[in-house]
C-alpha cells in the first residue's frame, strides 16, 4: 500500500507569552475565546503575530488582548476569575426553578394521576428551603393539562405566597405551561389577576398546528389563538403592567413545521407574539414509527434554523419585534456575562443544583428532563420523595453530583478544545436518554450540532463589520428578557 504523508507548516508559537485560549475559523477570520467568555476576531496575520509573541506593548491590539486575558503580560488573574465566577454563579445560588407536574391525567373525568394537596404543600416547603433569593414555580402537566388539577394549583400558589411572606422573603414567581385545552374564563381571570403568565404551544398556522396535535373535536389552533387573544385583551382591560406578558408560546418543530417555516414565523408575528423558540424535538421521546412521520435529520433541522433565524432578523430590520429564544440564550452568554438558565447550555449543568422537578406522585428528580426519562420507563434519576428530602440532601445526592461532573466541558473530549466551550453546555440526562451514558459521544449528539451551528451563525453575523444594524439587533436580543421557556417545554401532544 502506498504510504502517504502530510506536510504541515511548523507553527511559530511563543507559548510563554500566551495565556490560555481556544480558537476557531469563522467567516474567514480567527475567533479567539477564553473561559471567561471574552472573545475577539483576528485576521490571519494578527493571529500569527499573537501566536509568535509579536503583540507587545505599542501594538494596536495589545491593550485589547491584555484586557481580555489572552496575553500573559499583565494578566489580571483576579479579574479573569471574577468574570468566570460571574458566568457560573448559578452553581452556588441554590435551586431556583421548581418544575411541578400537577397531573398526569388527560381528561376531566379521569381523576387518577393528580398531585395531592399534601404533596403540593411539601413541594412548597422544600422549594422555599432553597438558598436562592428568587424562586420560580413552573406548573405543568405530564402530557396533559395542569389546570385539570386547578384546586391544587391554586392551593400551591396561595400557600407559597403566604409562607414566603411570613418567613422566606424571596422573589417569588410562577408560570403555567398549558396547551389551553381545558382553560376556562374563570381560571384565566384568576391567572391574570395573580400575575401568572401562561406559556402555551403554537406550532404555526391552522394546517400546521392541527396536523401536529390532533385533539378530539374542534380545532386545536382555533382554541389556542382564541385564548391568546383573550389573555392579551383581558390583561390590557384589567390595566396590568405593560411589561407583564400574560401569554407567550413555544412550538413543536415537526417535519411539517420545517416545510412551512415561513408561515410559522408569520403566524407568530400576526398573533402579536414577541418571541419564538425554535427547538428540535427529542427523537428519544418518540416511537420509531412516529419519528419516521414527524422527524428529520440534524442537517435538515439546522438548515431550517438558519433560514428561519435569517428571516426573523430580516423582520427585525423592518421594525418587527420578535426575538428567537435559542439565539437569545447564546447571545446572553456571548454579549453579556449572563446565563439564561437553560440547563443544556450550562457547564456545569444545573440539574439538581439550580432546577428540581416534582412528579405528581411526590417523587423528586434533578430536572424535568430527568422526570421525562422516568415517565418513559427508567427511574434512574429519581432522588427520593418530597417530604423526605432536604435541599442539602438533593445537592449532595450521588446522581446530582454525577450529572454535575459529567457536564464539565473542560473534561469532555472535543468540548475541552472547542472555541464554543465558554458559551455552551451539555445535558448528561439527554446524553443518557439518547446514547445510554452520561458523557456520550459528542459527534453523535444532535444538541452538540445544534449548539455549534447556532453559535457559529451568531458569530458570523457579529463578524460582519459592514452590517451594524444586525449587530445592534443581536445586542438588543442579548439584553432582552423574554421569559425563559421550560427546559422541557410545555406538554407536547404527539402528532
Interacting residue ranges for ligand SF4, rule: CB under 6 A: 409, 414-415, 418, 420-421, 424, 426, 442, 448, 451-452
- Give the nearer residue to ligand SF4 in terms of CB position, either 448 or 478: 448
CB hemisphere CA count around 66 (13 angstroms): 12
The whole-angstrom separation of Cα 235 and Cα 195 is 9
Instruction: Using alpha carbons, list the distances in angstroms from residue 380 to 162, 397, 494.
Output: 35, 13, 24
Q: How far is the CB of 453 from ligand SF4 (least distance, A)?
A: 9
- Give the nearer residue to ligand SF4 in terms of CB position, either 9 or 443: 443
Helix or strand holding residue 139 (H, E)? strand 134-141
Asked if residue 146 lies in contact with residue 157, where contact means CB atoms within 8 angstroms, the answer is no
Name beta bridge partners: 175.
138
- Give the nearer residue to ligand SF4 in terms of CB position, either 406 or 409: 409
- Give the nearer residue to ligand SF4 in terms of CB position, either 224 or 426: 426
Cell 393528580: give the residue: 114
Nearest to 485 by CA among 211, 90, 222, 140: 140
Q: How far is the CB of 32 from ligand SF4 (least distance, A)?
A: 15
Q: How far is the CB of 221 from ligand SF4 (least distance, A)?
A: 35
Q: How far is the CB of 412 from ligand SF4 (least distance, A)?
A: 6
Asked if residue 463 lies in contact with residue 27, where contact means CB atoms within 8 angstroms, the answer is yes
Q: What DSSP string runs through 162-213?
A: HHIIIII--EEEEEEE--STT--HHHHHHHHHTT--EEEE--SSHHHHHHH-
The whole-angstrom separation of Cα 410 and Cα 418 is 10
Q: How far is the CB of 418 from ligand SF4 (least distance, A)?
A: 3
Question: Quick one: DSSP state of residue 71?
Answer: B
- Give the nearer residue to ligand SF4 in terms of CB position, either 222 or 444: 444
Cell of 441: 459521544
Q: How far is the CB of 261 from ligand SF4 (least distance, A)?
A: 23
Cell 416545510: give the residue: 259
Q: How far is the CB of 444 from ligand SF4 (least distance, A)?
A: 11
Name beta bridge partners: 30.
25, 42
- Give the nearer residue to ligand SF4 in terms of CB position, either 135 or 426: 426
- Give the nearer residue to ligand SF4 in terms of CB position, either 230 or 419: 419
The whole-angstrom separation of Cα 368 and Cα 351 is 9
Cis peptide before 57 (omega within 30 of 0): no
The whole-angstrom separation of Cα 371 and Cα 98 is 12
- Give the nearer residue to ligand SF4 in terms of CB position, either 101 or 420: 420
Helix or strand holding residue 470 (H, E)? helix 468-479
Q: How far is the CB of 420 from ligand SF4 (least distance, A)?
A: 4
Cell 385533539: give the residue: 215
- Give the nearer residue to ligand SF4 in terms of CB position, either 322 or 424: 424
Q: How far is the CB of 430 from ligand SF4 (least distance, A)?
A: 11
- Give the nearer residue to ligand SF4 in terms of CB position, either 206 or 414: 414
Q: How far is the CB of 447 from ligand SF4 (least distance, A)?
A: 7
Amino acid at each position: 500500500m502506498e504510504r502517504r504523508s502530510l506536510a504541515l507548516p511548523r507553527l511559530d508559537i511563543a507559548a510563554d507569552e500566551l495565556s490560555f485560549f481556544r480558537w476557531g475559523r469563522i467567516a474567514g477570520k480567527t475567533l479567539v475565546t477564553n473561559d471567561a467568555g471574552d472573545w475577539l476576531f483576528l485576521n490571519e496575520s494578527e493571529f500569527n503575530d499573537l501566536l509568535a509573541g509579536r503583540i507587545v506593548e505599542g501594538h494596536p491590539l495589545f491593550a485589547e488582548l491584555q484586557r481580555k486575558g489572552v496575553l500573559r503580560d499583565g494578566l489580571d488573574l483576579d479579574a479573569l476569575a471574577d468574570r468566570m465566577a460571574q458566568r457560573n454563579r448559578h452553581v452556588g445560588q441554590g435551586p431556583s426553578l421548581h418544575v411541578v407536574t400537577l397531573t398526569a391525567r388527560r381528561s376531566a373525568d379521569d381523576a387518577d394521576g393528580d398531585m395531592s394537596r399534601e404533596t403540593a404543600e411539601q413541594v412548597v416547603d422544600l422549594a422555599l428551603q432553597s438558598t436562592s433569593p428568587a424562586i420560580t414555580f413552573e406548573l405543568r402537566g405530564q402530557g396533559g393539562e395542569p389546570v385539570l388539577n386547578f384546586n391544587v394549583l391554586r392551593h400551591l400558589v396561595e400557600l407559597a405566597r403566604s409562607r414566603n411572606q411570613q418567613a422566606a422573603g424571596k422573589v417569588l414567581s410562577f408560570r403555567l405551561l398549558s396547551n389551553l385545552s381545558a382553560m376556562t374564563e374563570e381560571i384565566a381571570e384568576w391567572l391574570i389577576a395573580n400575575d401568572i403568565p401562561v406559556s402555551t404551544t403554537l406550532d404555526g398556522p391552522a394546517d400546521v398546528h392541527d396536523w401536529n396535535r390532533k385533539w378530539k373535536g374542534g380545532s386545536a389552533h382555533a382554541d389556542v389563538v382564541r385564548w391568546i387573544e383573550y389573555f392579551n385583551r383581558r390583561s390590557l382591560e384589567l390595566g396590568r403592567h405593560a411589561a407583564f406578558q400574560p401569554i407567550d408560546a413555544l412550538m413543536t418543530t415537526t417535519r411539517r413545521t420545517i416545510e412551512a417555516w415561513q408561515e410559522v414565523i408569520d403566524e407568530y408575528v400576526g398573533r402579536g407574539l414577541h418571541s419564538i423558540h425554535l427547538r428540535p424535538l427529542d427523537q428519544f421521546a418518540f416511537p420509531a414509527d412516529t419519528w419516521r412521520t414527524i422527524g428529520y435529520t440534524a442537517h435538515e433541522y439546522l438548515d431550517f434554523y438558519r433560514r428561519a433565524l435569517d428571516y426573523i432578523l430580516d423582520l427585525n430590520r423592518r421594525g418587527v419585534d420578535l426575538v428567537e429564544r435559542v439565539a437569545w440564550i447564546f447571545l446572553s452568554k456571548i454579549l453579556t456575562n449572563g446565563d439564561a438558565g437553560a440547563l443544556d447550555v450550562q457547564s456545569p449543568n444545573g440539574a439538581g443544583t439550580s432546577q428540581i422537578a416534582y412528579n405528581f406522585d411526590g417523587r423528586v428528580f434533578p430536572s424535568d428532563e430527568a422526570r421525562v426519562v422516568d415517565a418513559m420507563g427508567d427511574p434512574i434519576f429519581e432522588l427520593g420523595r418530597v417530604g423526605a428530602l432536604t435541599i442539602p440532601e438533593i445537592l449532595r445526592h450521588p446522581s446530582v453530583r454525577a450529572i454535575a461532573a459529567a457536564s464539565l466541558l473542560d473534561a469532555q473530549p472535543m468540548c475541552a478544545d472547542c472555541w464554543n466551550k465558554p458559551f455552551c453546555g451539555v445535558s448528561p440526562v439527554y446524553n443518557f436518554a439518547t446514547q445510554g451514558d452520561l458523557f456520550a459521544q459528542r459527534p453523535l449528539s444532535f444538541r452538540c450540532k445544534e449548539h455549534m451551528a447556532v453559535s457559529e451563525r451568531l458569530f458570523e453575523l457579529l463578524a460582519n463589520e459592514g452590517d451594524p444594524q444586525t449587530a445592534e439587533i443581536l445586542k438588543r436580543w442579548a439584553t432582552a428578557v423574554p421569559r425563559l421557556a421550560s427546559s422541557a417545554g410545555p406538554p407536547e401532544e404527539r402528532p
